Structure 1
Amino acid sequence: MILTVTPNPALDLTYRVPALEPGETHRAAPPAVRAGGKGLNVARVVAQTGSAAFALATAGGPSGLRFADDLEASQLPAELIPVASPTRSSVAIVDEAAGETTVINETGGPLTAAEWMALRDAARRLAVPATALVGSGSLPPDAPDDFYAVLVATAAERGIPSLIDAVGPALLLAVEAGADVVKPNRRELAETTGEDDPVEGARRLLDRGARLVLVSLGADGLLAVPRTGAPLHARLPEPLTGNATGAGDAAVAAVATLLAAGNDDPGALLRRATAWSAAAVLAPLAGDLHPSYRELEARLVTG
């Protein structure tokens, strides 16, 4: 069972418009609404592809009740830690003409010390039967920077691999704690390390303790930089258009399924992550994969 931990989940609202014109008024059908956040998206993809997943997250306020209702309806195994701050919203606007998606993410509200402790305790308890531990997503305001580092330490105590998708000090501390794999995107990597070159930025994370760095490059695919050996790159022959909101989360899910099965080969991780990321772009909502994800892996260009 792959355990995903999401300290700052969101109620995802996805609108679709024929064409997005800044400064203009748009009419749209009611949005698709689902319990989201990076770890929830990861767990959904893991479950969709036939592996066991369990999602740990927080929920609070009226939006948290709606979040909990959707999660229950999805039948995704999960546990929610009650918190006082309302669950935030994330709004995605899909421009169907351009094939592009604009996302507006609320920051979320702070958690109390007792709520952080409850979340940590639940992660330790649920890690006992887990085969891999994923920590992903933004942290709410005033969060402890070492939250993901604590998850990495928990995974190490259990003897299971850890995968972290974060940015800034939270990512650096997780790396220093010995995260097995980290997956920032190009912008997050530059923000965290100060390096615009993704290979150099990845090597900075390796020097601080990461075992493998995967970097999302958008339409250019993914980059894998291992501790030993040359960097690896994978992409499709041509870029895809669609809703890229959950593409990075699908890549994390791909890596988690292989790590949970005992496969830590950088090339295998990179290929599956790139294919599943592309399949997520073709799906209508974050947390879903287009059924062609296996075919897409066969079409990859690697080097």
Structure 2
Amino acid sequence: MILTVTLNLALDVTYEVPRVDWDGVNRVGAVHRRAGGKGVNVARVLAALGHDTLVTGLAGGRTGHAVEADLRSAPLRHALTPVAGDSRTTLTITEPHTHPHEPGRSGRTALFNEPGPHVTSGELTAFTRRYEKLLSGAGAVVLAGSLPRGVPAGFYATLAAIAAARGVPAVVDADGEPLRHAAEGRPAVVKPNADELARAVPGGTLTEAAGALRERGAGAVVVSMGADGLLAVTGEGTFRARMPYTVHGNPTGAGDALVAGLALALVERTPWPDTLRRAAALGAAAVATPVAGEIDPDVYADIHPQITVS
């Protein structure tokens, strides 16, 4: 079982709009509402691949109840800790890649994230106790996404250290201060994108910045670079995964699908070249779908064998 932690759970709302007019009225072509947050998206991808998962995190208020209802209907196994504050809503607005009257214009995606509830120290203590119990049945744990207000920036490092003490490898996908601190908990893998890594470790190349996170305690650093593929700085060397072509669509859940591949590799002890090829293919397959947490199996099957790793 892979445990996924989403401390800032959300109700994800996606609007598919034929063409966004930022100064006028827009007619929405399709609406999707579902439980979200990075860890939930990871769990959806793992479940689609047939792997056992368990979603944990913090949920509260009417939005939290809507999130739990969607997890039940998915169905995704979950064990959430209640908080008094209302969980957040996120809004994604996507345009199609092709525009019949503007063939040279590519589609765009805009994401609006609410900050989430304020979490008390007592609620955080209750979550940590539950987390420690859930680790007993986990082969790996994913710690992903933003932290709600009231949660210390070093909390992912704390959770990773608790997992490591129990022999459970952790993947951390975070940004800003949580990313800077994460390596101190000695996670097996840290997965920033290129911009997140540059903010966390300014100056130098991506390889040097990834190496700096390894020096702070991370076992490996896998950097997602969109159409440019992946960079992995590991204890076995530095690897590059290159994409054969660009997949167009909604990139919102691409990193989450990629993280699902990394978590699977920890459980299955997959060699790095195979790990990166599968993770990159899952990320591309996620871009081809309209909502985060899904993958297009046809895109995955086509692009996977064409990804080169050096």
TM-score by length of 2: 0.93
| Alpha-carbon distance in structure 2 between the residues aligned to 1:251 and 1:27 | 32
Match of 2:85 in 1: 85
- The residue number in structure 2 matching 1:104 is 112
User: Is 1:147–1:170's contact at 8 Å kept on the other side of the alignment?
Assistant: yes
What amino acid does structure 1 have at the position aligned with 2:146? Answer: S
Matched, 1:195 2:196: no
Matches within 5 A, 1:174-189: 174-189=182-197
User: 275, 278, 282: which one pairs with 1:269?
Assistant: 275
Alignment of 1:216-255 (within 5 A): 216-229=224-237, 231-255=238-262
Partner of 1:258: 265
Pairing partner for 2:220 from 196, 212, 222: 212
**Which residue number corresponds to residue 142 of structure 1?**
150
Please give the residue correspondences for 1:31-50 in structure 2 after superposition, counting only pairs within 5 Å: 31-50=31-50
Output the CA distance in 2 between the equivalents of 1:267 and 1:172: 26
- 1:124 equivalenced with 2:132 (yes/no): yes
Counterpart of 1:17 in structure 2 is: 17
CA contact (8 A) 2:159 2:185 kept: no
- Give, in angstroms, the shift of residue 30 of structure 1: 5.4
Q: Report if the CA contact (8 A) 1:161-1:180 is conserved.
A: yes
Name the stretch that deviates more: 213-222 or 189-198.
189-198
CA RMSD of aligned residues (A): 1.4
Native 8 Å contact 1:234 1:270 kept in 2? yes
**How far apart are the structure 2 equivalents of 1:63 and 1:294?**
36
Greater shift, 161-170 or 83-92, is seen at 161-170
Q: SS at the partner of 1:31?
A: strand
167-176 vs 26-35, greater mean Cα deviation:
167-176
> Which stretch of structure 1 is more off in the superposition, 45-54 or 187-196?
187-196
Distance 2:229 2:24 in 1: 33
CA contact (8 A) 1:20 1:95 kept: yes
CA contact (8 A) 1:12 1:33 kept: yes
Q: 1:100 to 1:234 in 2, by over 3 A?
A: farther
Structure 1 CA distance, aligned partners of 2:108 and 2:227?
12
Letter in structure 2 aligned against 1:270: L
Aligned to 2:192, the other structure's residue is in SS state coil
Shift of 1:201: 1.3
Q: Once the 2 structures are TM-superposed, how far is the Cα of residue 146 of structure 1 from its aligned partner?
A: 2.2
Partner AA of 2:268 in structure 1: A
Alignment partners' CA distance in 1, 2:195 and 2:127: 28
1:196 is displaced (CA, Å) by 6.0
- One-letter code aligned to 2:282: W
- In structure 2, what is the Cα distance between the partners aligned to 1:122 and 1:101? 36
**Contact preservation (8 Å) 2:277, 2:308:** no
**Residues 100, 241 of structure 1: 8 Å contact kept:** no
| Partner residue of 1:173 out of 174, 178, 181 | 181
Gaps of 5+ in 2: 99-105
Deviation of 1:141 (Å): 1.9
Secondary structure of the structure 2 residue equivalent to 1:288: coil
> Of 281, 297, 308, which residue of structure 2 is paired with 1:291?
297
SS at match of 1:62: helix
Q: How many residues of Structure 1 are paired with residues of Structure 2 in the alignment?
A: 301
d(CA) in 1 for partners of 2:178, 2:65: 28
Letter in 2 for 1:290: D
Q: Distance in 2 between matches of 1:196 and 1:86?
A: 41
CA contact (8 A) 2:244 2:303 kept: no
Give SS of 1:72's match. helix
Q: Give the aligned partner of residue 282 of structure 1.
A: 288
Task: For residue 165 of structure 2, give the secondary structure of its aligned residue in structure 1.
Answer: helix
Equivalents in 2 of 1:100, 1:196: separation in Å?
A: 30
In structure 1, runs of 5+ residues without a counterpart are none
More displaced 10-residue stretch of structure 1: 71-80 or 170-179: 170-179
Mapped to 1, the partners of 2:44 and 2:203 lie a distance apart of 33
User: 1:143 offset after TM fit, Å?
Assistant: 1.3
Give the TM-score of the pair, scaled to structure 1.
0.95
* Correspondent of 1:154 among 152, 162, 187: 162
Per-residue deviation, residues 35-65 of structure 1 (Å, max 9, x unmatched): 0000000011011001111000211111111
**2:62 aligns to what?**
62
Q: Distance in 2 between matches of 1:5 and 1:302?
A: 30
> SS at 2:214's partner residue?
helix
User: Displacement of 1:228 after TM fit?
Assistant: 4.1
Equivalent position amino acid for 2:233 in 1: V
Conserved? CA contact 1:189–1:195, under 8 Å: no
